Amino acid sequence: MDAKEHVKRDLLHFFRTYKAHALSMYVGPLGTHMRGYNALWKDALQPAIDELVAEGLMERHESKIALTEQGKHAVFASKIAK
């Protein structure tokens, strides 16, 4: 699994863990979490978000990222199924 796939998986896991539909990229728990990313993951962050947006799972709102309805279903339904 390459860095972009790791970051995509990490972002979706983070939304699931915090039971959040939208998170700020720069402040709050996600901002703090991303400060711990290594250089490879930091470089893969924007391409990973772009791919999640293209897949219809996420959308951008200025400095926030949010799950779409499809993303909410994918993130939270997988937790229910476990």
At 37, which CATH number? 1.10.10
How many structural domains compose the chain? Answer: 1
Looking at residue 78, its pLDDT comes to 58
User: Torsion angle of alpha carbons 14, 15, 17, 23, nearest 10°?
Assistant: 90
Looking at residue 21, its pLDDT comes to 93
Q: pTM of the full predicted structure?
A: 0.88
Distances 13 to 3, 6, 18, 20 between C-alpha atoms, Å:
15, 10, 9, 11
> Which residue is associated with the tokens 């720069």?
26
Partners of 24 in beta bridges: 64
Rounded Cα gap, residues 54 and 67, in angstroms: 12
Amino acid letter, residue 40: L
Boundaries of domain holding 29 = 3-81
pLDDT in tens, the chain (82 residues): 799 999 999 999 999 999 999 999 999 999 999 999 999 999 999 999 999 999 999 999 989 999 999 999 999 985 554 4
